[in-house]
């Protein structure tokens, strides 16, 4: 029965996704759990730490973002961080237990000179044994290839919301620009991290369309961050209406059902969530978090609160790929032998 729960499809229809949103909550949670348990170890959570390597003064007008130059949000602008400081932050993240280090920059797209410096950062972070992720705005295919050559594992670029609602939130780049960047990232052989935000004033239909667009990409993103809007004073969305927390959980559950093998990340917004709400998100199939007390410019639960939450829920951190065998030891021997022949 659980095997049948996992369907890898790229032809989801709008009505099918909306029908999932309209299921009784318990029925939806059961479906999400069946998919989750068939596709993943049920109680492990992947942990990524974020670092803003270039902060503020972004020319884009994303209505949710504290780093846009257009809004007075009190974020201090900082130029590209020095390599040594990035390495130190990555070492701290690793020591705290993160397995992936995500470097974010407030760019529309990276300039050639900066991309070279960031490629260096990727090499250094990778040498520490961490997975690497970057989010630098739009990329051309050659830029994606340059990052891949430096050993970048993942590139984060979100669709944020449905194509239709998108232009109410961002006017300085199009939905198609985002899809083109995702194609460039895939084309370079990078893993894709792509998701969106709940709470922008979008409808349930928009949430359904976001998830449908993600699932109907030629390949499912390996990582799907589901952010709850962090309402930052000074941004156009500072007073956006809160979304029913159960609707947020439903969004996670449907991301899990539509993209069975993806890591679905319970992303921004955790600081404002109760432990109980986070637990429901994990039950719905979330199996990744941002770990460490800061996102890019806003807060995140501190490490101690997360440690306690994991302990109370019986969750453990997912090990770094290659660190510990994901298959029983008996089968590892065969694998090892095969690798030497
Ligand atoms: N500048 C790059 C870009 O936009 O592609 C990379 C960094 S940008 C901050 C990465 C993502 O963070 C956005 O696409 C958005 O989904 C998310 N984000 C930004 N501000 C947020 C907020 N206030 N609440 C929730 N998510 C947010
Ligand atoms: C993503 O989906 N969420 C992260 C990451 N990708 C780069 C960013 C969240 C940012 C929240 C607002 C801030 O801290 O500035
Ligand atoms: Fe700039 Fe990214 Fe923020 Fe948009 S989300 S304003 S592109 S930093």
- Is it the case that residue 76 has pLDDT exceeding 80? yes
pLDDT tens-digit map of 10-32: 999 999 999 999 999 999 999 99
Q: Average pLDDT of the chain?
A: 92
Burial class (CB in 10 A: 0-12, 13-18, 19+), 336: exposed
281 is catalytic: no
Distance CA 246, CA 306 (A): 21
pTM, entire model: 0.91
Q: What is the CB < 6 Å shell around ligand 1?
A: 58, 64-65, 104, 106-107, 135, 137, 157-158, 160, 197, 227, 229-230, 232, 268, 296
Residue by residue, DSSP assigns 222-260 as SEEEEEEP---TTSTTTTPPPPPHHHHHHHHHHHHHHST
Average pLDDT over every residue of 117-127: 97
What is the whole-number distance in angstroms between the Cα of residue 65 and the centre of ligand 1? 6
d(CA 54, CA 198): 25
Tell me the pLDDT tens digit for each residue of 215-267.
999 999 999 999 999 999 999 999 999 999 999 999 999 999 999 999 999 99
Instruction: Please give the angle made by the CA atoms of 56, 122 and 92, to the nearest 5 degrees.
Output: 75
- Pick the catalytic residue from 58, 194, 212, 281: 58
For residue 197, the CA-to-ligand 3 centroid distance in Å is: 13
Q: What is the pLDDT of residue 323?
A: 66
pLDDT digits over 291-302, tens only? 998 999 999 999
How many residues are present in the chain? 341
Atom index in ligand 3 nearest the CA of residue 105 equals: 8
d(CA 116, CA 122): 10
Tens digits of residue pLDDT in 142-183: 999 999 999 999 999 999 999 999 999 999 999 999 999 999
Instruction: Please report the pLDDT score of residue 337 as a whole number.
Output: 31
Beta-sheet pairing, 263-266 with 316-317: unpaired
The stretch 262-282 carries a mean pLDDT of 97
pLDDT of 332 over the 60 cut = no
Between 341 and 290, name the one with better pLDDT: 290
Of all residues in the chain, the percent with pLDDT exceeding 90 is: 89
Integer CA distances (angstroms), 142 to 12, 71, 188, 194, in order: 32, 32, 8, 20
Residue nearest to atom 23 of ligand 1 (CA): 230
Residue 201: Cβ-neighbour burial (10 angstroms; 0-12, 13-18, 19+): middle
């Amino acid at each position: 029965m659980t095997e049948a729960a996992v369907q890898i499809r790229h032809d989801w229809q709008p009505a099918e996704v909306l029908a999932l949103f309209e299921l009784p909550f318990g029925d939806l949670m059961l479906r999400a759990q069946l998919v989750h348990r068939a596709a993943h170890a049920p109680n492990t959570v992947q942990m990524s730490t974020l670092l803003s390597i270039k902060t503020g003064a972004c020319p884009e007008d994303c209505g949710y973002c504290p780093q846009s130059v257009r809004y007075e949000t009190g974020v201090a602008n900082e130029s590209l961080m020095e390599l040594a400081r990035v390495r130190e932050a990555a070492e701290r993240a690793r020591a705290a237990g993160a397995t992936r280090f995500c470097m974010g920059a407030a760019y529309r797209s990276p300039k050639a000179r900066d991309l070279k410096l960031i490629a260096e950062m990727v090499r250094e972070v990778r040498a520490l044994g961490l997975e690497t992720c970057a989010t630098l705005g739009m990329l051309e295919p050659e830029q994606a290839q340059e990052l891949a050559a430096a050993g970048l594992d993942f590139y984060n670029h979100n669709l944020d919301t449905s194509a239709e609602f998108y232009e109410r939130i961002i006017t300085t780049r199009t939905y198609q620009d985002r899809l083109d960047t995702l194609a460039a990232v895939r084309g370079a052989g990078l893993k894709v991290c792509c998701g969106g935000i709940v709470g922008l004033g979008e409808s349930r239909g928009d949430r359904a369309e976001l998830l449908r667009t993600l699932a109907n990409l030629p390949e499912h993103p390996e990582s799907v961050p589901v952010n709850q809007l962090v309402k930052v004073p000074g941004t156009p969305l500072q007073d956006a209406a809160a979304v029913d927390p159960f609707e947020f959980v439903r969004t996670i559950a449907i991301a899990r059902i539509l993209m069975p093998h993806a890591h679905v990340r319970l992303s921004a917004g955790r600081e404002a969530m109760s432990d109980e709400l986070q637990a429901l998100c994990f039950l719905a199939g979330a199996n990744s978090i941002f770990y460490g007390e800061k996102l890019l410019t806003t807060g995140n639960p501190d490490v101690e609160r997360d440690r306690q939450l994991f302990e109370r829920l019986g969750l453990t951190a997912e090990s770094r790929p290659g660190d510990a065998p994901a298959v029983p030891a008996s089968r590892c021997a065969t694998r090892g032998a095969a690798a030497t022949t």
